[in-house]
């Protein structure tokens, strides 16, 4: 198992030369070119053009972290790497393989995961699906191919009712220039016992990541999907405006785990949303470590009776980072329930903000919702903010929210030091315990990597 | 019927308060808001705490009819060892709506500050709605800050208990609501 001790390995760009990189800036010609390159059906091109039009007419949000450093005109919106999609790991070109091996992907891939899609810039290079899942009718495909091969199915669900094209400025941008990503369909009653995962990386100066993940879990199915990503560091800013849409149909369960570890000068403006039907469950597991500025608010819409949402999240903000995250749960059906747990850590001048929402609609009888958001500040330069919003329009609801902000207690540190640990080791151990609720729900490899990453961040941030 | 927000509705009662609680002083601010009919009430208070100062705000809201109540409080901790306690309880009936936003801002100079916020809302009718928003902005790590918010309904068991002691339903509800509003 890889023990990550040196973050520099994430920040070195691989030397692969992209096959096609579009000129900076965004215009209709580029959008048409992207669609043509991917050989898309007409309906997808129309959606892209709609997205572009809306994007150009919409202004930046007037709330949240400062986005003035984001140079939207200077970004290259489409980069295709120098390789075709490969089914076998060994056939992937050496420089690209080296980039992933540096991150530790091969080890992660070898063990319990069913299939791995690895994304380099804007295309899926490597994608493998285990035979038995294919036999059961499970579709695990890269998004570009799925648009062509499963056109009708994708057309029904892609940016229609979950995250519509006009949702917000960065969803509009996403609709125009999205590229790559994962499409998963699980047929009724099928339980995918092994987590499916995709690991992707951004590797181009001014390159943006706009991958789209669409998961459809049909009635009674069960799926665990994991995403983890890393990007190298450059002097100019880069942008990640991805989108994840999840449809959890009656009685199904989807667990979506993701570790986002973009490099320090990335703007991570991601959209994640799940529509949950009757008696179905969505479980979100989020680890937000990297990126300079993040705006990420995973949202569960509980629209079927008895639907459930569970969300566990960690946000870590070190020097120069601003993590603005929060979970949104919207209860529109009766007897739905949700629990949200958010843990944030701010150190060395980092800023963490929790901006969540619990909304109970008029017809949503007997709803139970709880939110716990705790923030740990490790020094005086850091900032922790919480703005939880609760809106309840039904009198039978039971909604509770609690939050605590503070530092590690002196007694706890003293206790560990009196047992022989040095102060920084004691601090790291306590931070590890603070995030344990979330890490213990991740598969072991990710839990270990997450803990190591947090350790590393703290080493570099705490003087 | 509630306003859609296309224009700025007339505010019937607006109270804007700015209070500085001086070094070592302790203040308790109690506010009772009662709104009915089509009234719109807005309450905005900013309280600045110097070193060792303590403030406790106790706000109760009783709203019915088409009333809309908006409370935005901000307590700014400037001095070290300052303490704030914000407690708000709202009972909403009819078509009433309440936004209760409490805020504690801990500046870098406020070491060992303590801030607690608690907002509880009780909904008595199917058309009422509550929006509790407790917020925290913390810039100093040597602090103890917490907040909590709940929205709920009258406890059926408690109602049953009182009625089984001979009270009629109306009286039992009144008693429970009064208890809820006693901070």
Find the closest chain A residue to B156 by CA distance: A396
* Helix/strand/coil percentages in chain A, nearest 5: 25, 35, 40
Q: A251-293: per-residue pLDDT in tens? A: 999 999 988 777 777 889 999 999 999 999 999 998 888 788 9
Quote the CA–CA distance of B111 and B149 in Å, as a whole number: 25
Distance from CA of A11 to the nearest CA of B (A): 30
**A196 or B107, which is more confident:** B107
Quote the CA–CA distance of A163 and A214 in Å, as a whole number: 10
Q: Which of A390, A279, A402, A404 is nearest to A329 (CA)?
A: A390
Which positions 87-146 of B are in contact with A (Cβ < 8 Å)? 108, 121, 123-146
Chain A residues touching residue B146 (CB < 8 angstroms): 402-405
Q: A12-26: per-residue pLDDT in tens? A: 555 555 566 677 888
Does A380 touch chain B if contact means CB atoms closer than 8 Å?
yes
Look at residue A461 in the predicted model and tell me its pLDDT.
Answer: 66
Q: Would you put residue B70 in left (φ > 0), alpha (ψ -120 to 50) or beta?
A: beta
**Residue A393 tokens, joined:** 């329009």
Q: Give the pLDDT band (50/70/90) at residue B134.
A: very high
For residues A388-403, give the mean pLDDT.
93
Does B30 touch chain A if contact means CB atoms closer than 8 Å?
no
Provide the 10 A C-beta neighbour count for residue B101: 20
**Residue B170 tokens, joined:** 């109306």
Quote the CA–CA distance of B128 and B63 in Å, as a whole number: 9
Q: List beta partners, residue A17.
A: none
Residue by residue, what is the 3-state secondary structure of A345-369? EECCCCEEEECCEEEECCCCCCCEE
Find the closest chain A residue to B133 by CA distance: A389
Q: Is the pLDDT of residue A201 over 80?
A: no
Look at residue A203 in the predicted model and tell me its pLDDT.
Answer: 39
Q: What distance, in Å, lies between the first and last C-alpha atoms of chain B?
A: 31
Q: What is the pTM of this model?
A: 0.82
Find the closest chain B residue to A389 by CA distance: B133
**Residue A173 tokens, joined:** 């941008």
Contact criterion met (CB below 8 Å) for A69 and A237 = yes
Q: Is the pLDDT of residue A230 over 70?
A: no
Quote the CA–CA distance of A85 and A93 in Å, as a whole number: 11
Q: Which of A314, A143, A125, A111 is nearest to A201 (CA)?
A: A125
Distance from CA of B63 to the nearest CA of A (A): 14
**Residue A366 tokens, joined:** 């007997």
Q: Give the pLDDT band (50/70/90) at residue B37.
A: confident
Contact criterion met (CB below 8 Å) for A123 and A204 = no
Chain B residues touching residue A403 (CB < 8 angstroms): 134, 136, 146-148
Q: A73-108: per-residue pLDDT in tens? A: 877 787 665 444 444 556 555 554 554 455 555 444
Residue A457 host element (H or E): helix A444-461
């Amino acid at each position: 198992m890889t023990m990550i001790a040196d973050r520099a390995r994430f920040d070195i760009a691989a030397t692969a030369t992209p096959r096609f990189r579009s000129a900076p800036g965004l215009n209709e010609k580029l959008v048409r070119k992207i669609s043509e390159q991917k050989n898309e059906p007409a309906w997808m091109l129309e959606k892209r053009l709609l997205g572009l039009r809306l994007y150009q007419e919409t202004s930046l949000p007037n709330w949240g972290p400062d986005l003035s450093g984001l140079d939207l005109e200077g970004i290259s919106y489409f980069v295709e790497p120098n390789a075709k999609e490969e089914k076998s790991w060994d056939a992937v070109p050496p420089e690209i393989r080296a980039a992933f091996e540096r991150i530790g992907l091969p080890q992660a891939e070898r063990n319990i995961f069913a299939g791995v899609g690895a994304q380099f810039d804007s295309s899926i290079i490597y994608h493998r699906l285990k035979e038995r899942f294919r036999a059961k009718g499970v579709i695990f495909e890269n998004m570009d191919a799925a648009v062509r091969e499963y056109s009708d199915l994708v057309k029904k669900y892609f940016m229609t009712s979950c995250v519509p094209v006009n949702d917000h400025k960065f969803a509009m941008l996403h609709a125009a220039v999205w590229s790559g990503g994962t499409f998963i369909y699980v047929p009724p009653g099928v339980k995918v016992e092994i987590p499916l995962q995709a690991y992707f990386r951004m590797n181009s100066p001014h390159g943006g990541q706009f991958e789209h993940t669409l998961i459809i879990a049909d009635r009674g199915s069960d799926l665990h999907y994991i995403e983890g990503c890393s990007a190298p560091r450059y002097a100019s800013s880069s942008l990640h405006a991805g989108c994840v849409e999840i449809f959890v149909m009656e009685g199904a369960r989807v667990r979506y785990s993701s570790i986002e570890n973009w490099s320090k000068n990335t703007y991570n403006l991601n959209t994640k949303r799940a529509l949950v039907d009757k008696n179905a469950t969505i479980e979100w597991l989020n680890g937000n470590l990297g990126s300079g500025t993040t705006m990420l608010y995973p949202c569960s819409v509980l629209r079927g009776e008895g639907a459930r949402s569970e969300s566990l999240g960690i946000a870590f903000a070190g020097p120069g980072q601003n993590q603005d995250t929060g979970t949104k749960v919207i209860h529109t059906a009766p007897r739905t329930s949700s629990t949200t747990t958010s843990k944030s850590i701010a150190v060395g001048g980092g800023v963490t903000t929790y901006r969540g929402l619990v909304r109970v609609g008029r017809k949503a009888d007997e709803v139970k919702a709880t939110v716990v958001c705790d923030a740990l500040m490790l020094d005086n330069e850091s900032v922790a903010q919480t703005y939880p919003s609760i809106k309840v329009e039904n009198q039978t609801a039971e909604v509770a929210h609690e939050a605590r902000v503070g530092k590690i207690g002196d007694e706890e540190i003293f206790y560990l030091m009196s047992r022989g640990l040095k102060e920084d080791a004691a601090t790291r151990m306590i931070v590890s315990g603070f995030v344990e609720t979330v890490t213990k729900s991740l598969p072991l490899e990710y839990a270990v990597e997450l803990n190591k990453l947090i350790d590393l961040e703290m080493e570099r941030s705490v003087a | 019927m509630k306003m859609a927000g296309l224009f700025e509705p007339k505010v019937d009662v607006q109270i804007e308060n700015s209070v500085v609680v001086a070094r070592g002083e302790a203040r308790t601010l109690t506010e009772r808001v009662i709104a009915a009919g089509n009234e719109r009430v807005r309450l905005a208070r900013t309280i600045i705490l110097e070193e060792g100062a303590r403030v406790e705000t106790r706000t109760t809201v009783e709203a019915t009819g088409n009333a809309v109540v908006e409370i935005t409080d901000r307590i700014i901790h400037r001095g070290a060892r300052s303490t704030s306690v914000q407690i708000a309880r709202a009972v909403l009936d009819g078509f009433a709506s309440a936004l209760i936003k409490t805020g504690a801002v801990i500046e870098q100079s406020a070491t060992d500050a303590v801030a607690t916020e608690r907002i509880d809302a009780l909904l008595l009718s199917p058309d009422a709605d509550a929006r509790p928003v407790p917020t925290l902005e913390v810039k100093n790590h040597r602090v103890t800050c917490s907040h909590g918010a709940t929205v709920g309904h009258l406890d059926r068991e408690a109602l049953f208990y009182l009625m089984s002691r001979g009270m009629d339903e109306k009286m039992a509800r009144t008693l429970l609501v009064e208890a809820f509003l006693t901070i």
